[in-house]
Amino acid sequence: MKLTAGAGALALSFTLAACGGETASEEPEKKAAPKGDGTFTVGQLLPQTGSLAFLGPPEFAGVDLAVKEINEAGGVLDKPVASHKADEGDSDSGIAPAEADGLLSKKSDVIIGTASSGMAKTVVDKIMSAGTVLFSGANTSTDFDEGDFSKPDLYFRTSPSDILQGAVLSNLLIEDGRSNVAILARQDAYGETLAEQIKVNLEDSGAKVATTSFYSQDATSFEAQVNEIAGSGADAVVVVSFEEVKKIMPQLIAAGAGPAKLPTYFVDGNTADYSDTFKKGELKGVKGTIPGAETSDDFKARLATVDPSLKDYAYAAECYDATIVAALAAVAAENDSGEAVAEQIIDVTTGGTKVKTFAEGVELLKKGEDIDYDGVSGPIELGETGSPTAASIGIYQYDDKSQIAPVKYISGQI
């Protein structure tokens, strides 16, 4: 992996072992994909409730905008796209499987979701077994490029794995002069993976990890973990969490380990607007990372046509692009079934003539040309595991009103 940024950034390079899998000669002969019902149907399994509910509005808006623009361009296979929404919830509610069943009963060919890697693991087998694509705009767990997921299947994502975010955040810590970092993280697939990636990259760069303290994903008190961080002698702390950061930060501040005394860093699961949550100055100077390229003013204006109240934009672009890519794949396959779509998803994001909109892509596909869709989230370039091979990570910083603004964007190849 190579990272590039503005002047002053450290140059880091990583060599990643290729995921194991069968060679082309070992693959069994593929059966023809079943024919779809003629209507390309998009399910949305995204957070309306739970610890990631703050990510729901931009993600739903991204899908809604894509569906709107696809239909304005003539739809898929000359028919309007159908769309249905459902709530992934979180581990406390456990509603994701039942909500997924509802979307499958509505004949969803592709389901955009989930936001949480952990929630994806609870529904991915069910969805793929139904012949439906699960296409996430926000899953970042490295697990989705390993084991059975390293082989072609019906799972895809437009957000890069935490290998990239871990490297970028570690690079940022080193740039800022941090050499003895404490990590406070959720004990789940997301928290454990990202904490490990941060630790590995810090240590590879010569820094130390003072302590890594995990808390249960359903914890209501963080006293033991906060005391461990406060007493670790660290010169910075990385908080890998979801919405529970609203409870964690007051405890860190009370323990003398808040941002005013201990430089603090967030990740994509908790980097959000907290102007209505924290007191003036409490988060000032905190930095965070969110996968994705800069959200352009044009894209924000287009999102406002489907959600005028939208204020946060995390993963809106990735969910938009996942929907566009899936629709282009259906056009390329001349078949709206999930299995047919899956066979074309990687092809429409690599090689061929560059296109940046659904309308451009359809025009070329109808002429029999190969296309390479580059979206609002970046180059995409999906690899054989269904994950991006190139992406961007944004670095954000909080002001004294607990609002975030982008500082710079890091591009990387995985």
82-114 pLDDT, tens per residue? Answer: 999 999 999 899 999 999 999 999 999 999 999
pLDDT for position 23: 36
Confidence tier at 30 by pLDDT (50, 70, 90): low
Amino acid at 132: T
Please state the domain extents for the chain.
37-160+296-382, 162-291+392-413
pLDDT for position 189: 85
Give which of 344, 369, 388, 393 is closest to 154, Cα–Cα.
344
Does residue 158 carry a pLDDT above 80? yes
Amino acid at 96: A
d(CA 95, CA 99): 6
Q: What does the buried/exposed string (b/e) look like for 1-39 if buried means 16 or more CB atoms within 10 Å of the residue's CB?
A: bebebeeebeebebeeeeeeeeeeeeeeeeeebeebeee
216-225 pLDDT, tens per residue? Answer: 988 989 999 9
With a pLDDT cut of 90, the percent of the chain lying above it is 84
Does residue 27 carry a pLDDT above 50? no
| Mean per-residue pLDDT, 301-310 | 98
pLDDT for position 293: 87
- Looking at residue 256, the DSSP 8-state letter turns out to be T
The residue that leads in pLDDT, 299 or 10, is 299
The fold adopted by the segment(s) 37-160+296-382 is Rossmann fold (3.40.50)
Does residue 4 carry a pLDDT above 50? no
Helical ranges in 231-309 per DSSP H: 245-254, 297-304
Confidence tier at 263 by pLDDT (50, 70, 90): very high
Q: Is 208 helix (H, G, I), strand (E, B) or coil?
A: strand
307-363 pLDDT, tens per residue? Answer: 999 989 999 999 999 999 999 999 999 999 999 999 999 999 999 999 999 999 999
| String of DSSP letters for 280-293 | TTTTTT-EEEEES-
| Mean per-residue pLDDT, 42-66 | 97
Structure tokens at 132: 């439906």
358-399 pLDDT, tens per residue? Answer: 999 999 999 999 999 999 998 889 999 999 998 889 999 999
Reported residue count of the chain is: 414
Instruction: Return left, alpha or beta for 375; rule: phi > 0 is left, psi -120 to 50 is alpha, else beta.
Output: beta
- Looking at residue 39, the DSSP 8-state letter turns out to be S
- Calculate the average pLDDT of the chain: 91
Confidence tier at 15 by pLDDT (50, 70, 90): very low
With a pLDDT cut of 70, the percent of the chain lying above it is 93
pLDDT for position 25: 39
Whether the bond between 212 and the residue before it is cis, its omega within 30 degrees of 0, is: no
The residue that leads in pLDDT, 24 or 213, is 213
Structure tokens at 412: 């990387």
The fold adopted by the segment(s) 162-291+392-413 is Rossmann fold (3.40.50)
pLDDT for position 43: 98
Answer whether 281's CB lies under 8 Å from 26's CB: no
Answer whether 226's CB lies under 8 Å from 183's CB: no
- Sign of torsion over alpha carbons 405, 408, 411, 412: negative
d(CA 133, CA 141): 18
Q: For tokens 């696809």, what's the residue?
A: 70
d(CA 372, CA 379): 9
| String of DSSP letters for 89-140 | --TTT--HHHHHHHHHHTT-SEEEE-SSHHHHHHHHHHHHHTT-EEEESS--
The residue that leads in pLDDT, 56 or 378, is 56
- Host H or E run for residue 43: strand 41-46
Q: What angle do CA 335, 316, 84 make, to 5 degrees?
A: 50
The residue that leads in pLDDT, 312 or 174, is 174
